[in-house]
Amino acid sequence: MLTAIIVPTLEEVDNIVPLVKQIEHTKVPFSEIIFVDDGSTDGTRDKIRGLTLAHRVRLIERDGAERGLAGAIIAGANASTADFFVVMDADLSHPPEEIPALLQPILANEADLVVGSRYIPGGATPGWPIWRRLLSRIASGVAYPLTGVHDAMGGFFAIRRECLLRFANEAAGFKIVFETIVRGRGSLRVREVPIVFRNRERGASKMSLAQAMRFAIAWSRAIGRRVMERKTPARQLPAEKSGT
Ligand SMILES: Nc1nc2c(ncn2[C@@H]2O[C@H](COP(=O)(O)OP(=O)(O)O)[C@@H](O)[C@H]2O)c(=O)[nH]1
Ligand SMILES: [Mg+2]
């Protein structure tokens, strides 16, 4: 049973080497780190290529119109034969030392998706200004009724191969955990483990207003579907009765 670590990258040149070092330092058994880069021009690709000989590192380069965070993660999974995936940001905000904790419930066959959570006891976001804390908590709060998890906005998670390819395949936005849980509702066993999120020290965030709008649209659609699902059985009831 193999585990691969998927890291989507966009302009992360200064984070690549420290990230690989930190992952290797954890001694977690993994088959490869798959970097999926979408057209970085800051030297990220050269940095990754420079590691491929001496480390279990692979680079997937995407330059076409299909760019985007969720698509990059799926491309990484499709390029690998691993049974389990850990997905994390390149920016060192996701603590590699928690990878074993993320994988444990999956390896024990107790979960299909394990989410690194900032908002359960033991989790934290030290150093965040109050406005950032508030916005993130609001987004996670509105996602809660749809996901049942306290932090569906993060991007640090472990997942079974078949679940990622089945439920995240059509994910389009930045919030792949949210989209995966919403699509897999009822058939995914989801767990949260606490993580202490570190602020990115190098490079810039690619989260944008456009991405926030995408999340708002995905959320509205999911709420709409949930409301329709609740209405449908009630309307079918008389027909079912008359057929018996
Ligand atoms: N391949 C790829 N990676 C992306 C894209 N957008 C962001 N990333 C990477 O995805 C991760 C999450 O993005 P980040 O800027 O850290 O978002 P934040 O954590 O919400 O601030 C980082 O490793 C980025 O380099 C994209 O369009 N394609
Ligand atoms: Mg990040």
Please write the tens of the pLDDT for every residue from 76-113.
999 999 999 999 999 999 999 999 999 999 999 999 99
> Which is nearest to 84 in space by CA: 45, 34, 119, 27?
34
Cα(13) to centroid(ligand 1), Å: 13
Distance CA 9, CA 40 (A): 8
203 C-beta closer than 6 A to ligand 1 = no
Q: How many domains does the chain have?
A: 1
36 C-beta closer than 6 A to ligand 1 = yes
**Residue whose CB lies within 8 A of the most ligand 1 atoms, among 19, 41, 89, for a mutation test:** 89
Q: Do residues 83 and 1 lie in contact, with contact meaning Cβ atoms separated by under 8 Å? A: yes
Q: Do residues 42 and 70 lie in contact, with contact meaning Cβ atoms separated by under 8 Å? A: no
Q: What is the pLDDT of residue 74?
A: 95
Could you tell me if residue 85 is inside a domain?
A: yes
Q: What is the pLDDT of residue 204?
A: 93
pLDDT digits (tens, 9 = 90+) for 135-186: 999 999 999 999 999 999 999 999 999 999 999 988 888 899 999 999 998 8
Q: What is the pLDDT of residue 243?
A: 41
pLDDT digits (tens, 9 = 90+) for 21-74: 999 999 999 999 999 999 999 999 999 999 999 999 999 999 987 778 999 999
Is the pLDDT score of 234 beyond 60?
no
Tokens in use for 86? 């850990």
Could you tell me if residue 214 is inside a domain?
A: no
Distance CA 150, CA 153 (A): 9
Distance CA 216, CA 143 (A): 10
Could you tell me if residue 15 is inside a domain?
A: yes
> Which is nearest to 73 in space by CA: 184, 181, 195, 167?
167
Residue with CA at minimum distance from ligand 1 atom 22: 89
Q: What is the pLDDT of residue 169?
A: 87
Its pTM stands at 0.93
Structural domain harbouring 7:
3-205
pLDDT digits (tens, 9 = 90+) for 215-227: 999 999 999 988 8
Could you tell me if residue 10 is inside a domain?
A: yes
Looking at residue 12, which CATH number applies to its domain? 3.90.550.10
SS3 of residue 60 by DSSP: strand
Could you tell me if residue 233 is inside a domain?
A: no
Nearest bound ligand to CA 8? 1
Could you tell me if residue 215 is inside a domain?
A: no
Q: Using CA of residue 104, residue 108, residue 110, residue 112, what is the dihedral sign?
A: positive
What Å distances lie between residue 150 and 43, 129, 203, 216, CA to CA? 36, 20, 27, 17
Q: Do residues 30 and 5 lie in contact, with contact meaning Cβ atoms separated by under 8 Å? A: yes
Binning pLDDT at 50, 70 and 90, where does residue 233 land?
low
Q: Do residues 51 and 23 lie in contact, with contact meaning Cβ atoms separated by under 8 Å? A: no
Other CB atoms within a 10 A radius of the CB of residue 61 amount to 13
What is the pLDDT averaged over residues 202-230? 90
Could you tell me if residue 93 is inside a domain?
A: yes
Could you tell me if residue 158 is inside a domain?
A: yes
